[in-house]
Chain A
Amino acid sequence: DIQMTQSPSSLSASVGDRVTITCQASQDIRKYLNWFQQKPGKAPKLLIYDASNLEAGVPSRFSGSGSGTDFTFTINSLQPEDFATYYCQQYNSLPPYTFGQGTKLEIK
């Protein structure tokens, strides 16, 4: 099974900051990586697919990059509604697909 290592597990930041989360796959997953946002009591929401493609309706302050085993997710100019938990997920291998352990983004 492919393991996804996401870091950091938690992060404190202020409105207007730029934050970066990384995700490392245990083997080559090419570009097949999603990034999700989850708020308490809600289902996850897809933000980025194929490592760098912005899902329709998602603000452009969210971005993703990388391929192979190393991936980065960035939020430019944090907004109050961005404080949430973020997950990466690979979908290169056969399912079930694996998630990273999550990054909780909190207000400083």
Chain B
Amino acid sequence: EVQLLESGGGLVQPGGSLRLSCAASGLTFSSYAMTWVRQAPGKGLECVAEISGSGGNKYYADSVKGRFTISRDNSKNTLYLQMNSVRVDDTAVYYCAKDQLFDYWGQGTLVTVSS
């Protein structure tokens, strides 16, 4: 059974940093692109970053480009999102999801940016 488990969310001040992790099991992790999707309170879904299976290709939404970095460690079956220079409007539940089908999602981790 495929499982994705996010961690690392919490309260951070504007301008601060946070690193999210997504631990994967039940799949050949390195074979799949992975995506971080966020959902602000009461709002819709936004893909913020995607990384190819090898880690060689990375894509970012304009809203996070230059501030967030997606990475992965295939030896640990783990996906990361390094969030720097966070803003109040980065407040959201962050989900990791499997490739372009998005057929598996984690349960989400809440990031709150507030002073």
Contacts and interface: CB of A to CB of B under 8 A. Distances in A.
Please indicate whether A and B come from the same complex rather than being unrelated chains.
yes
A96 B102 CA distance: 12
Contact of B59 (A32, A87, A96): A96
A96 B60 contact: yes
Question: How many A residues touch the partner, as a band?
Answer: 20 to 34
B33 to A, nearest CB: 8
Given A36-B102, A91-B100, A43 B95 contact: yes
Chain A binding surface, main DSSP class:
loop
A46 B103 contact: yes
A94 to B, nearest CB: 6
A95 B102 contact: no
Interface of B: 33, 35, 44-50, 59-62, 95, 100-103, 105-108
Interface of A: 1, 32, 34, 36, 38, 43-46, 49, 55, 87, 89, 91, 94-102
A96 B95 CA distance: 14
A95 B44 contact: no
A99 B101 contact: no
Contact of A43 (B44, B46, B48, B108): B108
A94 B46 contact: no
